[in-house]
Amino acid sequence: MIDSVVNVSNVSKVYGSKGENQFQALEEVSFSMQEGEFIGIMGASGSGKTTLLNTISTLDNVSGGQIEIAGTTITEMKEQDLADFRARKLGFIFQDFNLLESMTVYENIALPLFLQKMGGRNVQERVDQVADILDIKDILSKYPAIISGGQKQRTAAARALVHNPSIILADEPTGALDSSNAASLLETLQNLNEEHQVSIMMVTHDAYSASYCERILFLEDGQLYKQINKNGTREEFFKNILDEQAEAGRKKL
């Protein structure tokens, strides 16, 4: 039986205090994500997709509802415990890489392990392992300033993976890449998912990027209004996603 790695139950998020102008970013959102699944979150600007990712990543608190990750209810945890949970159980890939320019590629990848006070030999073995998977062993001694955008994003992916997180959370990971590097990164994420059973949740506005996922959650005005599953080829899934985006656009006219 495949276990759920994420359970989101009736999650709402309201910004602003009572008596002031309030904005409801999420409203009663519920879904589950299975271990080893690759899902995408899509929606127009302001739909709530980044807010949803931020609540799941423990970077933002919910106003109501409950989120469980790898068997732990994060919405009931204290901030200090959340920071530790985040460091051990979550991996992050950001649009702008978020690499430390003063550190080598090796040191950037190893950072989550250093923060967990892992020993030197174990760090070396784990960094070498993920660098081999992501085909960046030849740049480990280089600094971010002299590597390509695609190599930077692979470095970020290696850093997200190095501590064996329960889930990788990716926020528009191809946004700063050209089409060739974007395709390469998406193929890498797909390989991590299919060959290494890495659970990945990706926020994207791009149908091409979303077509690499197995399932897409569509948000509108803070509500989860539709889900579609991959059924057939990636090209067919890409067309289905485009059709759904077009239908959503027509409804707004």
- The CATH number for 157's domain is 3.40.50.300
Task: Report the predicted TM-score, pTM, of the whole model to 2 decimal places.
Answer: 0.92
DSSP percent split of the chain into helix, strand, coil, nearest 5: 40, 25, 30
- How confident is the prediction along the chain (253 residues), in pLDDT tens digits per residue? 457 999 999 999 999 887 778 899 999 999 999 999 999 999 988 999 999 999 999 999 999 999 999 999 999 999 889 989 998 999 999 888 899 999 999 999 999 998 888 877 889 999 999 999 999 999 999 999 999 999 999 999 999 999 999 999 999 999 888 899 899 999 999 999 999 999 999 999 999 999 999 999 999 999 999 999 999 999 999 999 999 988 887 777 6
How many helices (H) and strands (E) the chain has is answered by: 8, 10
* Domain assignment present for 174: yes
* Domain assignment present for 229: yes
* Domain assignment present for 110: yes
pLDDT of residue 1: 41
* Domain assignment present for 59: no
* Domain assignment present for 120: yes
pLDDT of residue 120: 78
Whole-number Cα distances in Å, 173 to 7, 19, 81, 184: 23, 38, 27, 12
pLDDT of residue 226: 94
pLDDT of residue 253: 65
* Domain assignment present for 136: yes
Instruction: Give the angle subtended at the CA of 22 by the CAs of 21 and 23, to the nearest 5°.
Output: 130
* Domain assignment present for 134: yes
Q: How far apart are CA 126 and CA 231, in angstroms?
A: 35
Q: How far apart are CA 135 and CA 181, in angstroms?
A: 13
Q: Quote the domain boundaries for residue 118.
A: 37-49+77-252
Into how many domains does the chain fold? 1
pLDDT of residue 2: 52
Token pair 């602003």 in the structure block, residue: 16
* Domain assignment present for 54: no
Residue type present at position 199: S
